A and B are shown apart, each in its own frame.
Chain A
C-alpha cells in the first residue's frame, strides 16, 4: 500500500546533514534517529518549507520530562527499533542513514499498513513530530491559525463585562 511521496521541491539532505541537538532526555544517538524521523515526516513544499527539525526534537525532548519512566523508556526503545527496522525492508539500511525519500516511503508504508500493530507503532512517532511542526509560528501563520491574539482581545472584553456587572448593570 505504500505510495511514492511527492517530489520535494528542495534538495534532499543526506543523513549526516541532519541537525544535531543537545537533548536532555535522549542520547545524541537517539536524537539523531529522531531527527531523521522528523525530517522525513514534516512537509516541505513550494508553498511552505520551514527548517525546524531541531526545534521539534527539542520540543519532544521536553515531553520526555513529563513522561513516567516506562513511557520514556518505551519511546527511546522505539527509536532504536525504528532505526533498525528499515534493514528488513526493501530499503536495506538504517533509518538515520537512508535518504529522506526512502525514510518517508518506509514510514508511509507502515502508516498505511493493514496490520494494526505496524500502524500504531509508527503513528505515535509521526503524530508527535507533526504536532511539533504545526506548533511552529511560521506554519500556523501559513494555515491561517493564530489563536493567541483572540485570547488577548476576549480576555479584555470579559473583564469589561465583569466590571459592568460589578457596577450593578
Chain B
C-alpha cells in the first residue's frame, strides 16, 4: 500500500535502516534488494502514485502528472536540449521505452581503466544482470506486436547490409500499445511501478509518494537526517513537514536531481565534481514518409536498433511519438504543420542517439532554481548530422518517398541522392533540434576522491553513510539505453550494503 499525500494528515517523521530517495530504476531496485535482505526500508518519491488504470491517450494530462515540471525541462547551451524526467512512482521507468541492454564490455573496460572502478569483470557482473533481467522480465518482443514502422526500419537497414539488433525489453505480454512514454496502459511494460516497487512492499518496504526531500543534514561525515515536505497533488503546495532518520541513505533521484539535492544541501562535494560531467546521449528525430499506410502507433514502441555505427558513437532506431508531442518541435505553423501531421499515418519516426563527448553541468541557483547547461561540441554535432544522413539512407532504402529533417534548412529530402545536401549546407550545433531521456554522470564513480563523487560501489567519498544509485554515477556515457546498467549497479550496491560495506 503506497502512502500518498491524501493519507498523511500531520508532519511526518520516519525512521528506518535505509532511506531511499527516488523510486525509479535505481531507487526501486535497491529498495527491493535491501528489503528482501531483511533491512527496514523507506522509499520517498516526490511525484504522485498513478496505477496502470490511470494511463490513457490524453497525452497532455499524462505529461502533467508523470513528468517533472510538465516536461518543460531544457539543458541550455549552443543547441538547447529538451530533456524529460519521470516524477511519479516508478520514476523514469514509467515513461521510458523499456529497452534493456547490458552495459557494453568496452564501456566497462573504459570505466575500469579511466576511473579505476573495481570489480567490473563481466563474470562478476553477470549474476547482477541476470537477477535484474529475471525481476523485470527482460525478453524479446512477441513478433505479433511489432509494428510496420519497425519492420520498415529493419528492411532498410538490412538492404544496406547494416547490423540490426533485436531489442530486449522489460515486458510481460506486452501488447504493443505504443504508449510507453506516457505510462503503459496495459501493464505489460514491467516498469518499477509494477515490478520492483510491489516486490519491495511485499518485503516490508514502506513507500511514500508526494514526499519531496529538500535538504540533507550531515554531521561528522555522516548524514543525520533528510528534511523535506509532503506535497499536495497536483499543486505541489507543501502540506506537512517531512523528516527521516536512518542508518544509511541512498540518493536515486536521477542525474539532475541527485546533484541538485547535494549542491543545495552543500554536502558531499569536497571534490567539486558534483553536478559536473553531465552527459545526455543527445537525440535527433527524423521522419520518413512512405507511400503505404504505416500507422506508426500500431505496434511496440521500438523492437530493433541499428548498431552498425556504435563504434562511431551513434546508433539508429525508431520510436513513435503522438502528434501532440511531435508538434512541439514543429518548424511550421498553420497549414504547414497540418500538412506534416496529415502524413502521420504514412510516417516512420526515427532517431539518432549520439554517445556524446560533450559535457554539461547542473548548478543550484538561489530561490530553488536548478540550472542545467550543456554545450554540444562540433564533434558530437558532426556525428548527429552523419547519423541523420545514414537514417535518411535507411528510410530511402526501405522505400520512403521523402524524409522530413530536424533542421530549418534543408527541411526535407526527396531522394537518397539529395542526402549530400546535409553536408553542403554547413549545419552547426545550433541548427540541431535535440532532445534526450538519458541523463548521466553528474556524481561520477571513481577511486580518486579528487576527481569523483562516489567510490566503485556508489558510496560517497565524503559521507560514510550516503550512497548514490542512479545514472549520475556513470563515469562516461554508455551509448545504449541506460536502465539495465542503473539497475545492475543498484543491485551491486545493495549487495555491498547487505554485506556490511
| Residues of chain A having any CB pair with chain B under 8 Å | 5-6, 40-45, 47-48, 59, 62-63, 65-71, 104, 107-108, 111-112, 114, 116, 119-120, 123-124, 126-128, 130-135, 140, 142-148, 150-151, 154-155, 157-158, 161-162, 165
Contacts and interface: CB of A to CB of B under 8 A. Distances in A.
A135 B333 contact: no
Instruction: Select the residue from B176, B178, B235, B338 with max chain A CB neighbours within 10 A.
Output: B338
B167 interface: no
Instruction: Select the residue from A66, A107, A124, A135 with max chain B CB neighbours within 10 A.
Output: A66
A131 B333 contact: no
A38 to B, nearest CB: 10
18 contacts: A6-B335, A44-B334, A47-B342, A62-B60, A67-B69, A70-B369, A111-B333, A116-B78, A120-B80, A131-B325, A142-B342, A144-B344, A145-B322, A150-B177, A154-B175, A154-B176, A155-B175, A158-B186
Contacts of A155: 175, 185-186
A45 B342 CA distance: 12
Contact of B327 (A68, A71, A127, A150): A127
Interface of B: 56-60, 64-65, 69-70, 72, 78-80, 173, 175-179, 185-188, 234-236, 297-298, 322-335, 337-338, 341-342, 344-345, 367-369, 408, 430
Given A41-B333, A104-B333, A162-B173, A116 B430 contact: yes
Given A43-B335, A130-B337, 7 more contacts: A43-B337, A44-B335, A116-B79, A130-B324, A134-B322, A143-B345, A158-B187
Contacts of A140: 323
A45 B330 CA distance: 18
A158 B329 CA distance: 34
Contacts of B331: 111-112
A116 B56 CA distance: 35
B60 A131 contact: yes
Contact of A131 (B298, B328, B345): B328
Instruction: Select the residue from A48, A107, A116 with max chain B CB neighbours within 10 A.
Output: A116
Contacts of B338: 43, 45, 47-48
A148 B69 contact: no
B137 to A, nearest CB: 12
The 3 residue pairs across chains A and B that have the minimum distance between CB atoms: A130-B327, A43-B338, A147-B57
